[in-house]
Amino acid sequence: MNSNSLNSNWLNSSKDALWYKDAIIYQVHVRTFQDSDGDGIGDFLGLEQRLDYLQELGVSAIWLMPFFPSPLRDDGYDIADYRSVHPSYGTMEDFRKVLDSAHQRGIRVIIEMVLNHTSDQHPWFQEARSSQNNPRRDWYVWSDSDTRYKETRIIFLDTEKSNWAWDPTSKSFYWHRFFSHQPDLNYDNPEVREQMWDVMKYWLEMGVDGFRLDAVPYLVEREGTNCENLPETHAILKDLRRRLDEHFPGRMLLAEANQWPADLRPYFGDADEFHMAFHFPLMPRMFMGLKLEDRKPITEILQQTPEIPASCQWSLFLRNHDELTLEMVTDMERDYMYDMYAQNKTMRLNLGIRRRLAPLLNNDRRRIELMNSLLMSLPGTPIIYYGDEIGMGDNISLGDRNGVRTPMQWSGGWNAGFSTAEPERLYAPIIHDPVYGYPAVNVVAQRESEHSLFHWMRRLIAVRKSSAVFGRGSIEFLYPANHRILAYWRRLGNETVLIVNNLSSAAQAVELDLGRYKGNVLIEMFGNNLFPRVRDLPYLLTLGPYQAYWFRLRRV
Amino acid sequence: MEDGNFLTDDFLRQLIDVGEADILVGLPTHNNAKSAGAIVRTIRDGILRSFPRERAVIINADGGSRDGTRELITELSISDAHPASSLHALRTLHAISTQYANTPHSGVALRTILSAAELLRAKACIMISPDSENISPEWISSLIRPVYYDSFDLVSPTYRRHKFDGLLTTNLLYPMVRALYGVRIREAYMPEFGFSGRLGSHFLGQNQWSNGADENGTELRLTLAAVTGKFRICQTFLGTKDPVERRGADLVPALRQSVGVLFSALEPDFDVWSTMSGSQDVPTTGDDVELLLDPLRINRKRLREMFVSGVAELESVFQSILAPSTLAELKGIAGLGEEKFRYSAELWVKTVYEFAAAYRKSVINRDHIIQALAPLFRGRVFTFVVENRNGSAKDVANNIEGLCLEFERLKPYLLEMWKSKE
């Protein structure tokens, strides 16, 4: 069976256009996952070898971080060619193999697309800077002075002093919202918009199931604004969505827009812009609520989260390839988060904390489980960052965000089973500290241990996938007087699930008002055990430290 | 409680919901709806400003309010169930309430709050008087910080007061506690104070709650327990304390709650105070005590008249309490005109000490002893007012210091009387 027929079979069987609402997404960088050719760098064929593992874990989609040709000055987010793959990761044929193999296993493939900017090594920029009269000059944003758009914030505060950089070649300034080696494309130019749709179409025709569109709030600049979330930007995104629906129905767009909920809402439009968007403000508040042992930060941000169209979905995550961003918190909250989670200042980067999940939670299995329980039960599609399912650690001695991008730890053998290369040839050193090092934390060991985090995560994912209520249902909070208990209903049609989480390090008693469901019994979803019938009195539950219950309600 | 429990089930449920607390603010009330809302808002502001990260709770112990005081307080909780848009708080702040009885008893209220503090394992606690309408958010910080950060066990307040406000404190409680217990605590009978969970549990564990001591004046007992238990004590300046409106009829209850409690403590504390000599300052944060000098109308004539009539009417009572020489001196000054009337510091100290000894010996009903002190105290107040009528703050402070030294100098006189029983 050739690739094209595999793809078309897959597409034909993908009748549910809302697949992303039920998905369990696994975020992985090709470079970090598995090296198949012994050069010390992960590649597509290595990834393909590990798809069985992802299938075993239960993920239903993978999100591949940028794998395009790039000078790799920003881990691939500085793209130099949108229509190819970085030679270190293999060939286009290798990519197609991954795509087909994933689809054969029922795993969708979402790829990264950086619309906002290119690498300064991209031929478009090389042409644009070559002369003021070059036809591609206007594909980027140029200025004779660095004083335009002064109300625009600088995102990478630790490295950049301005959003303008001087180009000595063409003797003018160019606009960049991120690193100065990442010039912003000029979306006021119709050729740019058309070109970027062509790029997306190229990958869609190959069979990718969706895009994670990077840095979307910044596409258009206007004087007198902060150059974020502008109506013109939304118009461009809506146009991309229209073309997608017209030519590639069932494919998905996921927005990376690190904004407050009210500012995020427009990215869903009237179900005519993005299918999904990351809920950035929720993530730090989950960590905050856990440390405070108080549900208030979590319920408050979700109270402030506007309704979204029925076909849209929030995308939830605990950790990712970037720092734990603290942009969408108040100064007081940010100080608290730094003091609680990053007392060592080297753990801080920009406005965030560059750490993985397990180290952030002091490798406390109970807290790791609770946070994953929240991730899987709050409304949205969960994204698991590679390695977090086995509790991988980080290496803060590596610069920038590289400390959370170390090789996947497959085994206790040579290079953690990641590569056969000499260790010094690896793209990054493997974690080898006594707590998180590969001899202690690896897939092989956890597969063999029935009570490992890996098996717990498998079970969690399986329970989540057992009901559509988690991906598609509504949420309603209960507000028990015990503020350490975060409890909510998830409902879809006739199905009702009650989630009760203890955010505290101590055992808790809580009385829940379940009167509406009088006569129902509670069935604990992990063990399928019966709990007492709901009566007139408040329902008394006791929970151990950091314990979570998922109950299905049934009349029997 | 009929089942032997002190706290009600409902209150216990509320405490379970609160969980462990770093900071506990206790507020006893009885029909304080007019002031309680503003006071709790200020407490809340103080917590949010100075302790935004700490787990805090406001606990109202109510003596049977019928004016909605309790509801007013509990409505000021900061909770996700009732978002208060103008407030930005990191965490939940519970304001809970319990009604311990149908009539107010400050001792029961304090016991309720101490019991709650122990159950919640509160690290730093403060009590706020429902009369403190001029409370500021800084008070919360001033009372909590020494306990929470500097490991003090008791934080006693000092205030900016009018020179003629708190005369029972300046003329009896402060100098006598200082002379006997050796510590210079300005406000031993404290309307507001901070204390550690450690001290609270120690005090709660003292078996004194079932013998009538839970009536009133428990705040003074707590101070004395801190002193005798060698807990770390400090003072903190809170600012202006508005004088509480008092009627003449309030004096006897005030004497019962303060002097009565002090006298009753002397017997169990004898081993401590009998071996003390001199007195020591306690660490004080903030400004020192300040006295306000604005003109204040005091009915001196009435004070002296009440003294004179008291000495005459209670002569037979005084004969069983006072030494003959002391009684003779009192009768002597009672016969003097207003111009020459002077109740000296020495005579006042002897009077108080003889009352204390008589109280110990129960020469007559102990409550009658306390009541009999009232007219004499008025005579002493007359002299204090006259002596300090035109005095500067420094003059008044010197006058009080002189009285304190007199209490210290005559301490052997009290000891002598005390031991004369054996």
The whole-angstrom separation of Cα B280 and Cα B286 is 18
Q: For residue A78, give both structure tokens.
A: 């500085």
Across the range A531-545, mean pLDDT stands at: 96
pLDDT exceeds cutoff 90 at B397: yes
Task: Collect all residues with Cβ–Cβ distance below 8 Å to A45 and sequence separation of at least 6.
Answer: A36, A37, A90, A94, A97
Predicted confidence (pLDDT) per residue in A373-428, tens digit: 999 999 999 999 999 999 999 999 998 889 999 999 999 999 999 999 999 999 99
Q: Which residues of A touch B79 (CB under 8 A)?
A: 296, 479, 483
Q: Is A214 among the residues known to form the active site? A: yes
Residue A39: CB partners within 8 Å, gap ≥ 6?
A88, A419, A421, A425
**What pLDDT, on the 0 to 100 scale, is given for residue B292?**
82
Among residues A256, A323, A369, A400, which one is catalytic? Answer: A256
Residues in chain B with CB shorter than 8 Å from the CB of A480 are 17
Q: Is the pLDDT of residue B290 over 80?
A: no
- Express each pLDDT in B151-160 by its tens digit: 999 999 999 8
- Written out in words, the top-level CATH class of the domain with range A123-175 is alpha beta
Query: What Å distances lie between residue A5 and A8, A10, A12, A100, A207, CA to CA?
Result: 5, 8, 10, 10, 11
Residue of A nearest to B93 (CA): A483
| pTM, two decimal places | 0.89
Residues contacting B142, CB < 8 A, separation 6+: B155, B236, B237, B238, B285, B286
pLDDT tens sequence across A154-195: 988 888 999 999 999 999 999 999 999 999 999 999 999 999
Query: Amino acid identity, residue A19?
Result: W
What are residue A475's DSSP bridge partners? Answer: A490
Q: Who's near A238: CB < 8 A, 6+ residues apart?
A: A269, A272, A273
Architecture of domain B9-292: Alpha-Beta Complex (3.90)
- Give the model's confidence band at B363: pLDDT under 50 very low, under 70 low, under 90 confident, else very high: confident
Give the one of B19, B83, B88 whose C-beta lies nearest to A303's C-beta: B83
pLDDT at B248 over 70: no
| Confidence at residue B101, expressed as pLDDT on a 0 to 100 scale | 87
- What integer pLDDT is reported at residue A486 of this predicted model? 98
Length of chain B: 422
Q: Are residues A299 and B80, on separate chains, in Cβ contact within 8 Å?
A: yes
Which of A254-263, A488-497, B92-101 has the lowest average pLDDT?
Answer: A254-263
Q: Which of A296, A335, A476, A543 to mutate to test the interface with B (most CBs of B within 10 A)?
A: A296
A223 is an active site residue? no
- Give me the pLDDT at residue B246, please: 56
End-to-end CA distance of chain A: 50
Confidence of residue A328 (pLDDT cuts 50, 70, 90): confident
The CA–CA distances, whole Å, from A397 to A158, A401, A436 equal: 17, 10, 14
Partner B, chain A 494-513, Cβ-Cβ below 8 Å: 504, 506, 508-509, 511
Domain boundaries, chain A: 123-175, 474-555
Its CATH class, for the domain covering A474-555, is mainly beta
Name which of A487, A363, A295, A499 is nearest B19 in CA terms: A295
Residues of B in contact with A482 (CB under 8 A): 16-17, 19
- Identity at A461, one-letter amino acid code: I
* Domain extents in chain B: 9-292, 300-419
Those residues whose C-beta lies under 8 Å from the C-beta of residue B373, and which sit 6 or more positions away, are B255, B259, B351, B352, B355
Q: pLDDT tens-digit profile of B348-362?
A: 999 999 999 999 998
Query: What is the predicted pLDDT for the residue at B86?
Result: 65
Using pLDDT thresholds of 50, 70 and 90, give the confidence band for residue B216: confident
pLDDT digits (tens, 9 = 90+) for A186-218: 999 999 999 999 999 999 999 999 999 999 999
List, in sequence order, every residue forming a beta bridge with B56; answer none if it has no partner: B23
Continuous segment of H or E residues that includes residue B204: helix B197-205
The pLDDT tens digits of the residues spanning B298-342 come to: 888 999 999 999 999 999 999 999 999 999 999 999 999 989 999
Region B18-36 average pLDDT: 96
Enclosing H/E stretch for A541: strand A539-543
Statement: residue B147 has pLDDT above 60: yes
Which candidate, B98, B124, B284, places its Cα nearest to that of B195?
Answer: B124
The yes-or-no verdict on residue B276 having pLDDT over 50 is yes
What is the rounded end-to-end Cα distance, in angstroms, of chain B? Answer: 42
- Answer whether B44 touches A (CB < 8 Å): no
Q: What is the pLDDT of residue A531?
A: 97
Amino acid identity of B199? L
Write down the pLDDT at residue A1: 39
